[in-house]
Structure 1
Amino acid sequence: MDTPDLKQPQFYINRLLSLLAFNRRVLEQAKDPATPLLERLKFLCISSTNLDEFFEIRVAGLKQRIELGVTQVGPDNRTPAEVMDAISSEAHELVEEQYRVLNEVLVPALEGEGIRFIRRGSWTGEQRSWLHRYFREKLLPILSPLGLDPAHPFPRILNKSLNFIVSLQGRDAFGRSGGVAVVQAPRALPRLIQLPSDETGSGAYDFVFLSSIIHAFVDELFPGMTVTGCYQFRVTRNSDLFVDEEEIDDLRRALEGELPQRRYGAGVRLEVADNCPDDMGDYLLEEFHLGREDFYRVNGPVNLNRLLAIPDLVNRPDLKYTGFTPGLPQPIAYQPDLFAVLREQDILLHHPFESFTPVVDFLRQAAKDPHVLAIKQTLYRTGPESAVVDALVQAARAGKEVTVVVELRARFDEEANIALANRLQEAGAHVVYGVVGYKTHAKMILVVRREGGRLRQYVHLGTGNYHPRTARLYTDYGLFTTDPGIGEDVHKVFLQLTSLGRASDLQSLLQSPFTLHDAMREKVQRERDNAEAGQPGRIIIKVNSLVEPKLIRDLYAASMAGVQIDLVVRGMCCLRPGVEGISENIRVRSVVGRFLEHTRIYYFENGGSPELYGSSADWMERNFFRRVEVAFPIRDPRLRIRLLRELDAYLRDNTQAWLLDSDGQYRRAEPAAGEAPFSAQQALLEELAEEM
C-alpha cells in the first residue's frame, strides 16, 4: 500500500477556526443548566472577552497579512483572505448566539432569581427620578459631547470603549445646523448602576445599564436641539505591539513608548446597536476604514464583558460554585521548613486544587534564611500586587543575590511587568529582560543554599505563571525538587538568559529553542518504532494548543503504526483525529469547566520504561522556536503514579469533555449506558481540596 502524503490539507484544521470553536465551547457553559446561574453569566462574559482578544490579536494580524498581499497558505491550504471570510461567517454566528443566550436564556433565569436589568421603557416614576438625578450629578459634569463639522473632526476612539453616535436637528447656540455628534463614556464610569431599593422601591438586585441612562437623557447634552437618534457603538483595534528589537538599545523604554499607541491601533471590528440605521452604520465603517464583514449588530450592550461585575455585586452563594480551600500535600502540611522537606523528597502541587502558598513561602523562607546565598527566577505574568515580587524584594533588601528574568512582552501584561521590573531594580535585584527575539516563557525558581560546607540547589519548575490570583482559576502543576541534575540544568538556563554565552548541553531538562522540538519528535518516533516491533506504543499529551505541523505528521505516522494516542487539548487543535487509515488510533478531547485547563504534560510509554514531563510549552511553532521554554522530567515514582492517575481522570471525564470528530466538529461527551457521570475537575477538588 502506498504511504499517504501526510501534508495533504484535508488532514489539518485551520488554527484560527479551531480557536473560535474553543470559544463556542466556553459559550456552551453559559447554556448548561448544571452550572450555577451566576457562573453561567461569567462564562458568557469570558466568551466575549476571549472574542475581543481574538480580534485584537489574531484577526488584526490576519488583516495585516492581507493588506501586505501575503498569499502564503497554512497546512490547511487556505489563504489569509479565505481564512478571513470563514472567520467573519463563524464570528457573526457566535456573536448572534451570545446575545441570544443573554436575552432568551440568562436574563429570564436571572429575573426568576430577583436579579433584573431594568430597561428604559420599564422604569417607574421613582426609578426615573433617581436615575435623572444620577445623570445630572454623576454623568453630566464629565460627559463631553463632540459635534462633528469641519472644525470638529471625528474624534479618536479608544479601543473597546463605549460610545454613542447621535443624530440631531435644529441649530445650536452659534447658529450651526444640526447633524451628527459623538458622546464618549469615560472608562472611569461604571457600566452597571445598582438601583437603591430604599429610594426607588426597586428590588435588592435591580440594575440599569449606563448606556440606558445616557440614552434616556442624552438630549440634555444638546440644549435647544432635537435628538433624532442615539446609538451605542464600540470599535475593537489592533492591540499587538511591534518593537524592532534589532534597532533599539533599551527594550523597556521602547515598550513604554509603544504601549499608549495600543489604544489607537487600526480598527478591526465595529459593534453597533441593532437599531442603528444603515446610513449611520456606513458612516462609522468609513470613519474606521472597515468593511461590511467587520460590522456586528448586537441586541444588547456592546460591551458584554462588563456584565462580569454582576456576580461580585450579587450576594447569592446559592447561584455560584461552592467555595473551597486549596489543599496541601501531607509532607508540607505539618512541616513549616520547606527546605527540610525537600531534602527528603520531591513535592508536586496541582493548582488550584492544591495551594499556591508553598511557592510564596518557598521564596519568603529563602529571603529570611541566612544560609541562602542566591535566588533566581523567571517572571512572565505575576500581577501588579504580587506576593511573589514582595518576597523577591525582601530577599534583595536582605542582601541576597537576587536575579529576575522579567518578560516585558507578556501580552497585555507589559505595563504591569515594567512596573514590577522597576520595583525590583530599586530594591537591588538584578533584572534582565530575557533574550532578544525570544520570549522567556519558562517557569523556574532556583534557590542556592550553603549546607555543611557545600552548596545545594532547590528548584521549583511550573507549567503556569507565578501569579497567585490565576493560580485559583487555572489548573497548573508545580514541581519542587533538589535533584542535582535538574538543579544544574536550571542553573545553566539562567546563565544563558543573563549572560552572552553559548547554549550548554542539558542532561535533564529539554529546552526551546534548542532541544525540545527535536526531542518530542524523537520520542514520538520511538513509540512508532516500538509499535512496529510489536511492543505496546502509548502517548498522552495534555496541552493548551496543538498546532505544529511536523509533530502532527509524526503523530499521524505513529497512529498508522498502531500507537495509541490520547490528546487533551484545551483550545486550538489542528490535528484531525479518527481519519480512516491515518489517525484512527488518535483521540482528541477538550475539557472546559470551572477552571481554565492550563497544564502541559507529556507521557511516552517507552517500551515499559515510561517517561513523563511537565512543561511550560504548548505544541506550537512559537513555543518550540521563538520562546525559551523548558520541559522537566517527573522522576519520583510516587509522583509519576499520581500524575498518571490524574491524567486518566481527564481521559474518563464524561460531563465536561468535548470530543473532536474527524469532520472537525466537537461533540460533548456523555455517560454511556449504565455509566455514572464523572468530572475530572470535580473529582480532583474532592480528592485534593477542602470544600467550605
Structure 2
Amino acid sequence: MTDNATPAADSYQPDHYINRWLSLLEFNQRVLEQAKDDRVPLIERMKFLCISCSNLDEFYEVRVAGLKQMAEVGAVQTGPDNILPTTLLGQISERAHRLVAEQYGTLNAVLIPALEQENIRFVRRVDWASNAAQDAWLREYFHQELLPVLSPIGLDPAHPFPRIINKSLNFVVSLDGKDAFGRTARFAVVGAPRSLPRLIQIPPEVPGTGPHDFVFLSSVIHAYVDELFPGMTVSGCYQFRVTRNSELFVDEEEVDDLLLALEGELPQRQYGDEVRLEVAHNCPDGVWQYLLDKLGLTEDDLFRVDGPVNLNRLMALGDLVDRPDLKYPPFTARLSSSLGQDRIFDTISRKDVLLHHPFDSFAPVVELLRAAARDPQVLAIKQTLYRTGTDSAVVDALIKAAHAGKEVTVVVELRARFDEADNIGLAEALQEAGAHVVYGVVGHKAHAKMVLIVRREQGRLVHYSHLSTGNYHPRTARLYTDYGLLTANPAIGEDVHRVFLQLTSLGKVLKLDKLLQSPFTLHPGVIECIEREAEHARAGRPARIIAKMNSLTERSVIDALYAASAAGVEIDLVIRGMCCLRPGVPGLSERIRVRSVVGRFLEHTRVYYYANNGQPALYGSSADWMERNLFRRVETAFPVLDKKLAQRIVDELELYLADNTQAWEMAADGSYTRAPAGEPAICAQQALMEG
C-alpha cells in the first residue's frame, strides 16, 4: 500500500467491524422489502419472506454463534476496532429483533390478507374449530398422520429436558394432574418430526373449504395435544424453536483423514450450543423463562413471534398452489447454437465463449464434461468442486470419464458449510469410480472454480479450461447470476494446470502468467490495479473502476478505494450483501457509489473492471473482497482477454448501474434507499432475460 492510502485509513469510522455484521442484517432487510413489493408476484413475495428468515437462521448459526463463543471464553475484544463481543451481540440482538418483528408483520398484515384476496387462506384454529366438517377432517388427520409419530416427553427426574434438534418445531406443554404411574409433571415437551409437513391442505371437498385452504401443523398439534396426555389436564401448549451453533470444528493439523473426521462431526451439528430461542407470542413469562434457564440463554436471545416459529417452511406454498399467475413467468435459459455436442472442442479452440448464468444455459458446461468423458482424444480432466448438489450431472460425467479410463482428478472441498455431507458422498462416489480425489489445502478452503481438460490434438497436448465465478451446481446455475469462461488460451490453461499442481501436491508457489490467485497474488493484484487507476487520475487521464461482488469488507482494499476516489477515480460498486465501505463521504469517498441489486435471481457474479487509460483490464473471480477470500482461501481471478466479451460484461455492468426497479443505493451513513424510479423503467435481470 502506498502512502496515498493513509488519510483514508485515518478517516475510518470507529464502528467498521460492527458495520460488517449489521450489514448482513441490512441485506436481509432488502430481501424482506421484496416481500412487500406488489410488483413482485404474490407467491414469490412469500418466498422472499422465507429467504429472509432462512438467512437470519444461518446468521445466528454461524456469525452469532462465533461471537457467543468469544464472549464465553472472555475475549477482551473482537476485530480491529477493539469491539467487545458482548457489545456487538447487544447491537445485533436489537437489530435482529426489529427485523423479526417486521418479518411477522409482513406475514400477518401484508401477505396473508393479499393471499386471502386470491382465495389462498391460512385457516385459523378458531375458524376451523367452529366448522364441524373441517374439525372432523383435521381430527382424523391428527389420529392417522400425526399421533403415531409424536413422542411426548414428560419432564421429571427420570426424564430430563431433552436435547432439542437444531431448528426443529417443538411444543412445551404445561400439565396438571398425575399420569398412570402417579407421577406429577409440570411440563412436557413434544417434538414435531421434520418429516411432517408444516402446511396441511384441507381437501376442497370438505364442506366450507376453499380451493386452497391450509392449516399450520402447529395449530393442529395445539388443538389436539391433550390426546397425548390421557388422564391429565393440559393447561397450556406453546410452540418453540431452538437455533444452535452449526459450525463444525476439526483440527486439520491433528487428524489423519479429514473425510473421516468430518463424518464424525456431522451428527453433532444438530446439537451445538444454543444461540437463540423462538417462542409463540402468547407464551407466558414463566414458561419462556423456564425454557431460557434450561437452554442457558438470556432474554436478548429470546424472540416472541406472532405466527409459526418456522416461517421458512412456508416456502412449500409455491409447490402446493398451482397458480402460475401468482409466480414468476417461466424462463428458459438461452442455449448457444455454436456449442453443439459434436463441435464443442472445435468451437472453444477457435474462440473464447462467455456464459452468463442463468440467462445463458449451464448445459454447455455439463456437455463439455460429457464430451470429454467419451472423447478418446481426451487424456485427463481436473476439476474443483465446492458445491454441486446431490445427483449431480457434473459428478456423473466425471465418474463416466473415470470409468472410460481418463485420468480424473477432483479437488473436493469437504468443508463447504452445510454441504459437507453431500460433498463427502460425492467424494466417495468419485473414489469408487477410480478418480483421484483430494480435499484441498490444510487451513485454506479450495473455493476456486476451475475445470481443465487435456486433449491430444495432432500430436500435441491442448488445454481446454472453464473458469467461473460460481459453483458447478446445475440447480443454483438457474437461480444465481454467474459468469463462466470457456477458453483454449494456452497461457490460461498453463496457469490452471499450475494451480491444480499446487492443490494436489506439496510443491512451492508457482508463478502464474494470467491468473491471480489467493492467498498469493490476488490481494496484491487487486491493490495494484486500484492504485494504477489512481495514478492515471492524478496524471489527468480518465480513470474508472467498476466492481461487482457479494461482499466488500477487506480493510486495505477499502483504503485503496478511498485513496483512488480522493485521487479522482470514478468508482461504481455493486455489492449485494456486506459492505463496510461508506460512499459519498466528503473528503474520503465522494467519487464512490455503492448499490445493491435484489431481484428474481441471486446476484452472485464477481467481476472487477479497471479502465486503465484505454487498455481495460477485466477479471472474473471466485473471490469477494473479503479477508477470508483474499488470505484464507484458494481463489482465482481470471482475465477476460477477448475484447468483445470484455465489452459485453462492461455493458452488462452498466445495465446494473442503470437499474431503477430492483436496485438500492447506499448513503454515507450505511443506510440503503431504493434507487429513484425512472422512465423508462430499467430492470437489469429482466433485460438480460430478454437477451
Query: Does residue 222 in structure 1 map to residue 207 in structure 2?
Result: no
Query: Does residue 40 in structure 1 map to residue 45 in structure 2?
Result: yes
Post-superposition, which runs of at least 4 consecutive aligned residues in structure 1 deviate over 6 A? Answer: none
2:84 is matched with 79
- Counterparts of 1:662-673 in structure 2 under 5 Å? 662-672=668-678
1:680 is matched with 684
1:10 is matched with 13
Within 1, Cα distance between the matches of 2:392 and 2:625?
29
Q: 1:342 aligns with which of 331, 340, 348?
A: 348
Q: Secondary structure at the match of 1:331?
A: helix
How much has 1:183 moved relative to structure 2?
A: 0.4
Q: Secondary structure at the match of 2:527?
A: helix
1:690 is matched with none
2:442 is matched with 436
Residues 31 and 76 (structure 1), Cα distance of their counterparts in 2 relative to 1, 3 Å cut: farther
Q: Which runs of 5+ in 1 are unaligned?
A: 688-692
Asked whether the equivalents of residues 278 and 305 of structure 2 are also in contact (C-alpha less than 8 Å), the reply is: yes
How much has 1:2 moved relative to structure 2?
A: 13
Q: Secondary structure at the match of 2:548?
A: strand
For 1:571, the aligned partner's letter is: G
Q: 1:70 aligns with which of 69, 75, 88?
A: 75
How much has 1:331 moved relative to structure 2?
A: 2.7
Within 2, Cα distance between the matches of 1:414 and 1:200?
48
Query: Does residue 646 in structure 1 map to residue 620 in structure 2?
Result: no
Query: Does residue 30 in structure 1 map to residue 50 in structure 2?
Result: no
2:195 is matched with 188
- Counterparts of 1:5-404 in structure 2 under 5 Å? 6-10=9-13, 12=16, 14-75=19-80, 78-123=83-128, 124-332=131-339, 336-404=342-410
Deviations 1:92-129 (A, max 9, x none): 00000000000000000001101111111101111110
Q: Secondary structure at the match of 2:149?
A: coil
RMSD: 1.3
Within 2, Cα distance between the matches of 1:540 and 1:573?
15
Query: Does residue 508 in structure 1 map to residue 508 in structure 2?
Result: no
Q: Which runs of 5+ in 2 are unaligned?
A: none
Deviations 1:382-407 (A, max 9, x none): 00110000000010001100000000
Deviations 1:163-191 (A, max 9, x none): 00000111111112241100011111111
Within 2, Cα distance between the matches of 1:178 and 1:639?
71
Query: Does residue 609 in structure 1 map to residue 615 in structure 2?
Result: yes
Asked whether the equivalents of residues 469 and 621 of structure 2 are also in contact (C-alpha less than 8 Å), the reply is: yes
Query: Does residue 530 in structure 1 map to residue 559 in structure 2?
Result: no
Q: Secondary structure at the match of 2:214?
A: strand
For 2:297, the aligned partner's letter is: L
Asked whether the equivalents of residues 329 and 349 of structure 1 are also in contact (C-alpha less than 8 Å), the reply is: no
Within 2, Cα distance between the matches of 1:274 and 1:453?
73
Residues 173 and 73 (structure 1), Cα distance of their counterparts in 2 relative to 1, 3 Å cut: closer
2:586 is matched with 580
Query: Bigger shift: 421-430 or 66-75?
Result: 66-75
Asked whether the equivalents of residues 532 and 612 of structure 2 are also in contact (C-alpha less than 8 Å), the reply is: yes
Q: How high is the sequence identity, in percent, across the aligned residues?
A: 67
Within 2, Cα distance between the matches of 1:528 and 1:597?
28
Within 1, Cα distance between the matches of 2:256 and 2:341?
48
Q: Secondary structure at the match of 2:520?
A: coil
How much has 1:508 moved relative to structure 2?
A: 0.5
How much has 1:73 moved relative to structure 2?
A: 4.3
Deviations 1:204-242 (A, max 9, x none): 211111111100000000001110000000000000111
How much has 1:137 moved relative to structure 2?
A: 1.1
- TM-score, normalised to structure 1's length? 0.97
Deviations 1:237-295 (A, max 9, x none): 00011100000000000000001111000000000000000010000001111011000
Q: Secondary structure at the match of 2:7?
A: coil
- Counterparts of 1:450-529 in structure 2 under 5 Å? 450-529=456-535
Asked whether the equivalents of residues 14 and 76 of structure 1 are also in contact (C-alpha less than 8 Å), the reply is: no
How much has 1:534 moved relative to structure 2?
A: 1.0
Within 1, Cα distance between the matches of 2:417 and 2:6?
42
Within 2, Cα distance between the matches of 1:450 and 1:561?
50
Within 1, Cα distance between the matches of 2:456 and 2:366?
21
Within 1, Cα distance between the matches of 2:672 and 2:81?
18
1:426 is matched with 432
Within 2, Cα distance between the matches of 1:5 and 1:219?
65
For 2:222, the aligned partner's letter is: H
Within 2, Cα distance between the matches of 1:200 and 1:264?
44
Asked whether the equivalents of residues 335 and 341 of structure 1 are also in contact (C-alpha less than 8 Å), the reply is: no
- TM-score, normalised to structure 2's length? 0.98
Query: Bigger shift: 1-10 or 192-201?
Result: 1-10
Asked whether the equivalents of residues 132 and 217 of structure 1 are also in contact (C-alpha less than 8 Å), the reply is: yes
Aligned pairs, number: 684
How much has 1:66 moved relative to structure 2?
A: 1.2
For 2:305, the aligned partner's letter is: V
For 2:39, the aligned partner's letter is: A
For 2:454, the aligned partner's letter is: V
Asked whether the equivalents of residues 451 and 467 of structure 2 are also in contact (C-alpha less than 8 Å), the reply is: yes
Query: Bigger shift: 173-182 or 272-281?
Result: 173-182
How much has 1:9 moved relative to structure 2?
A: 4.1
Deviations 1:54-87 (A, max 9, x none): 0000000011111122233435553322211110
How much has 1:200 moved relative to structure 2?
A: 4.4
